[in-house]
Structure 1
Amino acid sequence: MQRLRSKLFDISLAVWTALFTPALAILWLCGSPEHGVRVASRLWARGVLIGLNWLVGLTYAEHGRHNIPGEPCLIVANHQSTWETLAFLILFPDVAIVAKQELLTIPVFSWFLRKSPMILIDRGSGSKAVRKMVDESRAAIAQGRSVLIFPEGTRKSVSEPIAFKRGVELLYAKLDRPVLPVALNSGHFWGPEQRFKRGGTVAVTYLAPIPPGLSGSQFTRTAEEPLEAERAQSWPQAA
C-alpha cells in the first residue's frame, strides 16, 4: 500500500508541476520579476508538501525556532533527501539556495531556479565556482535574503557521518554572518536508498547559531559536531 501511495504522489507531482507552465509563461511576459517568481515557487513547493501529506502521510515538525537569527544569515543543513530542497522554500521564504548546476536539466523547475534567482554552481569549475558562490551569496545577503548551503555537497545515507566539503569555511569567512545549523532526518522517509517514499514526520531542528569570526577549522568543527550528534540519534520509525 505504501508503495502505491508513493507512486500516486509521483504522478501528482508531475501533474502539479505541469500546471505551473502557464504561470511560467505569465511571469515571463511580465519580465520575470524576482518577487513574483519566488511567490510562485513557494506556492508550488507548498502544494508538493500538501501532496506528500495527503498521499504518502509524510509531514514535518520544527524544533528550536528560537535559534533562528533575526537577520539574514548563512544556513548549513545536512542533506539526506530531495525533501529539504522543497521544504526550505517554505521554511525560509526568499532563501537563496546554493545548488548544483545539473538541476537546470529539470523542465519548469530549472526556470524557477534561474529566475528566483538561486546560486547555481558548476562544481567542476574549481576556484571559479567558489568565487561565484561567494559573490552571489554576498549579493543575496545584501538583498536581505538568507543563504542556504548543503555543505556535504550531495545527498548522503542516514547512516553516513556528516563531513563538510571544502569551500564552506571560505563562504563563512567571506560573508561574516551568523550561521544557523539545521539538522534533518528526511532520509528515513525519502532518501537516495529508498525504493519508495514512506509516511512519518520529518524532524527539522534549528541548532544554536554560530557567530562569525571563528577560524575555518573552528567553524567546521563547531557546525559538524552538533549536526552529527543529531544525525546519530535521529532514527525514527516510519509510519
Structure 2
Amino acid sequence: MLFVRSLLFNIAFYANLILWLILLLPGLLVPRRTFIRFAQAWAHSSLWLLRVLAGTRIEVRGREKIPAGGALVAAKHQSLWETFALVTLFDDPTFILKRELMWIPFFGWYLWKAGCVPVNRKAGSSALMQMTARAKEEAQHGRQIIIFPEGTRRPPGAPPAYKYGVAHLYHNLGFPCIPVALNSGLYWPRRQFIRRPGTIRVEILDSIAPGLSREEFFKLAQERIEESSDRLLAEGQRELGMSDSAQKAAVSASKV
C-alpha cells in the first residue's frame, strides 16, 4: 500500500506541476505580488495531493512568531518538500538559489518573475556581494528572504553542515532572522521514491534580532535550528515507529 500510494502521489504531483507550468504562462504579465499568489496556490494544491494520496499531513508550530515585513528566513533543508511548502507560510517570500535554476525553461522564467535571488557559486566573493545587495533590496520591499544555510538537502539525523553565507547575509541585511526547523526528510526522503504517511512538522522559532556579530549569530541560529529539528525528528520517529537502527539505515539510504 505504501508503494501504491507513493506511486499515485508522484504521478499526480508531477502532472499537477506540468499543468501549473502551463497555466502560469499568462502570469508572466501580471504584477509580481499577484504572481506570488498564483505560486502559493500551486504549493497548496501540491500539499493537498500529498495529504489525500500519500496520507502526509502538515503541522506548523509558531506561525504567530513570524514578524511583519522584511526578514531573513533560515530553514533546515532535508527534502524537496520545503522548497515549495515554505512558500505558503509567508506573505511575500523569495528564495536564495543557485543561478543555474534560472536557466530552466518555464521554471526559470517563473523564478525570475517571483524575484528570486540567484547566486553564481563560481564567482567567489563577488557573487556573495551581488547576492547580498539583491537580497537587501528585496527585504527592504518587505519580502521574506528564504535561505537554506546548509546549501543542500541533508538527511534527517545527519551531522549539520552550515555555510557561513547565512551569517554574512544576516550581518549585512539589518533585518531579523527567522529560524525554521522541520522533519520533512522522514516523510519525503531525498533521492527516494517513497512518501510516508504521517505528519510533517515545521516549527517557526523565535526571531533573532539584528545586531549580533557574525559569529554569535552563526552559532545561535545553528543551535536553535538543530535542537528543534532533533526534537521534531524524535517525534516523527515515534510516529513512524522507527528505531534508532532503522533511522540510521534510512539516513544511509538517502546518501546513496
**TM-score, reference length from structure 1:** 0.92
Structure-2 separation of matches of 1:232 and 1:107: 37
| 2:133 alignment counterpart | 135
- The question of whether the paired residues in 1 share the 8 Å contact of 2:61 and 2:202 is answered with yes
**Cα distance change on mapping 1:148 and 1:25 into 2, 3 Å:** closer
Tell me the CA shift for residue 91 of structure 1: 0.7
Counterpart contact for 1:78–1:162, Cα < 8 Å: no
Residues 139-197 of structure 1: per-residue CA shift (max 9 Å, x gap): 11121111111001100011113232022111101111111111011001112154411
Q: Residue 238 of structure 1 corresponds to which residue in structure 2?
A: 240
Q: In structure 1, what is the Cα distance between the partners aligned to 2:220 and 2:33?
A: 34
SS at match of 2:5: helix
Which residue of structure 2 lines up, in the alignment, with residue 125 of structure 1?
A: 123
Shift of 1:32: 4.8
SS at 1:219 equivalent: helix
CA separation of 1:107 and 1:17: change in aligned 2, threshold 3 A: farther
Q: Are the counterparts in 1 of residues 21 and 107 from structure 2 also a CA contact under 8 Å?
A: no
Contact 2:71–2:142 under 8 Å retained in 1 = no
Confirm or deny: 8 A CA contact 1:17 1:108 kept in the other structure.
no
Does residue 202 (structure 1) correspond to residue 204 (structure 2)? The answer is: no
1:89 CA drift (Å): 1.1
Tell me which residue corresponds to 2:251.
none
Distance of aligned partners of 1:12 and 1:131 in 2 relative to their CA distance in 1, 3 Å threshold: same
Deviation at residue 138 of structure 1 after TM alignment? 0.9
Alignment size in residue pairs: 237
Partner AA of 1:211 in structure 2: A
Query: Does the 8 A contact of 1:32 with 1:115 survive in 2?
Result: no
Structure 1 residue 5 and structure 2 residue 25: aligned?
no
1:219-230 correspondence runs (5 A): 219-230=217-228
Q: Partners in 2 of 1:9 and 1:132 — Cα distance?
A: 39
Q: Work out whether 1:215 is the aligned partner of 2:213.
A: yes
Residues 1:55 and 2:57 aligned together: no
In structure 2, the residue corresponding to 1:124 is in which secondary structure?
coil
Q: CA deviation at 1:70?
A: 2.7
TM-score scaled by structure 2? Answer: 0.86
Residue number in structure 1 paired with 2:17: 17
